[in-house]
């Protein structure tokens, strides 16, 4: 158990809908990262937040957005869903020690768009 929690575990929805995925980082971790894992693209970095501020962006679609709240939990919002958005979505939180940063991943949310 990494200490990172994600809800829900599974989500089934229809095209055109909007969903929100939630991530609670490990206690004390200020950074949250979101990743998407689809069958054809592998694990891809989407976005990073640090203490409430967006820090880095990866291959995140404009239909997707995220935020990190004062209690440090984060939400990933996916809108106008398409079949191709079906994937596993992971969040990770990180700790910095001895000059390096290690990310710990949650169990993921499996999204199925029908």
Among 22, 26, 45, 75, binds other proteins (CB under 8 A): 45
Among 85, 103, 111, 113, binds other proteins (CB under 8 A): 103
Q: DSSP string spanning 1-30?
A: --S-EEE-SEEEE-TT--EEEEEEPPTT--
* Residues counted in the chain: 114
The 10 Å CB-count burial string (b at 16+, else e) for 86-107 is bbebbbbbbeeeeeeeebbebe
Among 21, 25, 31, 111, binds other proteins (CB under 8 A): 31
Nearer to other proteins, 33 or 64 (CB): 33
First to last CA, the chain: 31
Residues 48-87, mask of contacts with other proteins (x by CB under 8 A) = x-------x-x-----------------------------
CB of 35 to other proteins, least distance (A): 8
């Amino acid at each position: 158990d990494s200490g990172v929690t994600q809800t829900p575990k599974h989500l089934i929805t229809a095209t055109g809908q909007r969903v929100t995925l939630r991530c609670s980082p490990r206690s004390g971790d200020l950074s949250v990262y979101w990743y998407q894992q689809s069958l054809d693209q592998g694990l891809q970095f989407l976005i990073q937040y640090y203490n409430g501020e967006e820090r880095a962006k990866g291959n995140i679609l404009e239909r997707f957005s995220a935020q990190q709240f004062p209690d440090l939990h984060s939400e990933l919002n996916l809108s106008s869903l398409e079949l191709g958005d079906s994937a596993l979505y992971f969040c990770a939180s990180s700790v910095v020690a001895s000059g390096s940063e290690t990310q710990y991943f949650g169990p993921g949310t499996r999204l199925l768009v029908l």
